Amino acid sequence: MHNIKLTLAYDGTDFHGWQIQPGQSTIQQAITDVLAKLAQERLAVHAAGRTDSGVHALGQVASFKTHSEMTPLEFQRALNALLPPAIRILACDEVGPDFHARWNAQAKTYIYRIYRGRVVPPFVWRYALHDPFQLDFDAMREAALLFEGERDFTSFAASTGSEEDDRDRGATRSIFQSEIFRGDDLSSKCASLDSLGLARPGPEEWIYLVRGRSFLRYMVRKITGTLIDVGRGRLRPDDIPRLFEMRDRSRSGPTLAPQGLCLLSVEYPDPADSLARRS
Amino acid sequence: MHNIKLTLAYDGTDFHGWQIQPGQSTIQQAITDVLAKLAQERLAVHAAGRTDSGVHALGQVASFKTHSEMTPLEFQRALNALLPPAIRILACDEVGPDFHARWNAQAKTYIYRIYRGRVVPPFVWRYALHDPFQLDFDAMREAALLFEGERDFTSFAASTGSEEDDRDRGATRSIFQSEIFRGDDLSSKCASLDSLGLARPGPEEWIYLVRGRSFLRYMVRKITGTLIDVGRGRLRPDDIPRLFEMRDRSRSGPTLAPQGLCLLSVEYPDPADSLARRS
């Protein structure tokens, strides 16, 4: 039995999210169908984060176990030949038997892109929210930092569900980094971008970046919606701690449209480290 | 009567080019239909360059004459509200009665994008040709420069037709700049990019940029195809002058796929200049 790790990017525009749903076109369905053909067996493919309908990924990670003797490079080439161009396997590696894309993930980084120019270029509308109206950048930046730390995110999530699992762990989540900056600063904030071949956003974009252990459903889109309410003056940075205490999702900002959201990367423990710890 | 100049960008993926064709979805058709509704009259919209099926534009220019009293800003807002997001009016200005987007154009700049990485990111495949194979960059750069000047481009064009008009002017065209460089140098080569909100290509892309007075049909795609033949070693830079002399389109490189091509900008005489010259 081989355990295979996929690093993949997708344009989520035309998909109903990651997870298989009857009668819908999903990323997991597309990959499972191709793998079934290649490996001649039914496989279960697990992703680090179950992105919602319309959400993109630049560095999603998925894993599956197979009896197939195809090499990782053969899997990558065949998958890219048979998948639509909107889904690309960026890397494919054989990993140890204990690796699981979802359970072993230590951190995930998402960005939410807000296009600030008056007219959205036709090459950007699929990947950003358009908000050309006046927003107080400094207030938003101040508010963004207040989401860092371990907190109960009930006020900043969908009423049910979490992005990565079905286990009930309550609404407490750990956020390591929560920051808003201009698009042309993205490369300096995130070194992995260059290796992913992403066209770099320009200064007309504002980008909210959040890195955390795991996330509740709609959490990033609702935090960004709250930050826009702060930018608009409907909320002040001082209101954020109060909103956390309320545990009332109706008081925070709206859940923004999915097309601005992109799963940038997933981090795992260094295999050498975990080996060392085990021995 | 008002004369209106439009500067527009479009993602050509889902269009059969600029020009109206019966039963096909084209950019000119989409704009003409919306303008007919807005101005309540039939209008003729002329573009600087009649881009082919699947070709993109970041700075196409078009013009039309209308009896409507709508202001340019009203036209721009209404067009952007009614057009699909793949077509965006970046600017709209009232111009003098003699302005014609096609006849007055002094220069046009096109880029052709070649993605060199092993796997095309899902956000790039609509806008670049994928060529991950070995190419001699220096030979291509040397060859590219040999297309500058006034020349008979019979060997580097479709058998009939020119991009901008139906008048028979033969196949002689003037090329002011013909250059290949890496994607991350694009901003330094072309200052107008920042104002257009283009996501910047990364170093994984090679870009052929050509600026000329006007172009024959398929000319940019066939020149770039010839440059790739040089990169591959099938032709040498020395062969280019001989290919010009042959006036035989079957001897030069192939016409590359349309999705790599983008009309970057169109230049017109400075209005103040032409006024001064006229007086």
**Low pLDDT (below 50) residues in chain B:** 166, 276-279
**How many CB pairs (< 8 A) connect A and B?**
92
| Active-site entry in A11, A33, A52, A165 | A52
Best of B82, B123, B130 to substitute, by most chain A Cβ atoms within 10 angstroms, is: B123
Residue A108: the pLDDT is 96
Cβ-defined contact of B119 to A201 (cutoff 8 Å): no
Q: Is the pLDDT of residue A48 over 60?
A: yes
Domain segments of chain B: what residues? Answer: 2-95, 107-267
Q: What is the 3-state secondary structure (H, E, C) of B141-157?
A: HHHHHCCCEEEECHHHC
pLDDT of residue A158: 84
**Per-residue pLDDT band at A217 (split at 50, 70, 90):** very high
CATH 3.30.70.580 is right for the domain spanning A2-95: yes
Q: B134 forms bridges with which residues in the sheet?
A: none
Q: What ipTM was reported for this prediction?
A: 0.84
Q: Which residue of B has its CA nearest to A122?
A: B86
Subunit contact A200:B200, Cβ cutoff 8 A: yes
Q: For residues A108 and A144, what is the distance between their CA atoms, to the nearest angstrom?
A: 17
Q: List the alpha helices (DSSP H) in chain B.
A: 27-39, 72-82, 137-145, 186-189, 193-196, 219-232, 239-246, 271-278
CB contact under 8 A, A198 and B203: no
Fold for A107-267, please state it.
Alpha-Beta Plaits (3.30.70)
Contact with chain B for residue A254, Cβ under 8 A: no
Q: Do domains A2-95 and A107-267 have the same CATH topology?
A: yes
Average pLDDT for A105-123: 93
What sign does the CA torsion over B208, B214, B217, B219 have? negative
The shortest C-alpha distance from B217 to chain A (Å) reads 24
Alpha-carbon distance of A44 to A65, in angstroms, equals 7
CB count within 10 Å of CB A142 equals 17
Q: Please report which helix (H) or strand (E) contains residue B109, including its range.
A: strand B107-115
Task: Find, among B273, B236, B276, B263, the residue nearest to B9 by Cα.
Answer: B263
Which pair of tokens denotes residue A87? Answer: 């889904």
**What would the pLDDT profile of A132-168 be if each residue is shown by its tens digit?**
999 999 999 999 999 999 999 999 998 766 655 545 5
User: How far is B124 from B130, CA to CA, in rounded Å?
Assistant: 9
Largest CA distance in chain B: 59
**What would the DSSP string read from start to end of A39-83?**
HTS----EESS-PPTT-EEEEEEEEEEE-----HHHHHHHHHHHS
- How far does the CA of residue B151 sit from the closest CA of chain A (Å)? 34
Long-range contacts of A238-246 (CB under 8 A, 24+ apart): A240/A143, A240/A146, A240/A147, A241/A146, A243/A155, A243/A156, A244/A151, A244/A152, A244/A153, A244/A155, A244/A156, A246/A155
Name the one residue in this structure whose structure tokens are 């100049």: B5
| pLDDT digits 0-9 by tens, B65-117 | 999 999 999 999 999 999 999 999 999 999 999 999 999 999 999 999 999 99
Q: Please give the Cα distance from A47 to A39 (Å, whole number).
A: 19
Instruction: Give the pLDDT of residue A18.
Output: 97
Q: Would you state the pLDDT for residue B279?
A: 41
Average confidence score pLDDT of chain B:
90
Identify the bridge partners of residue B129 per DSSP, sorted by sequence position.
B114
Mutate to test the interface with B, among A13, A119, A127, A264 (most CBs of B within 10 A): A119
Strand partners, B266: B108
Residue B185 is predicted with a pLDDT of 78
Q: Residue B49: helix, strand or coil by DSSP?
A: coil
Among A residues 62-81, those touching chain B with beta carbons less than 8 Å apart: 76, 80
Helical axes B27-39 vs B72-82, angle rounded to 10°: 120
Question: Among all chains, which residue has been given the structure tokens 């002689």?
Answer: B172
In A, minimum Cα distance to B126 occurs at A85
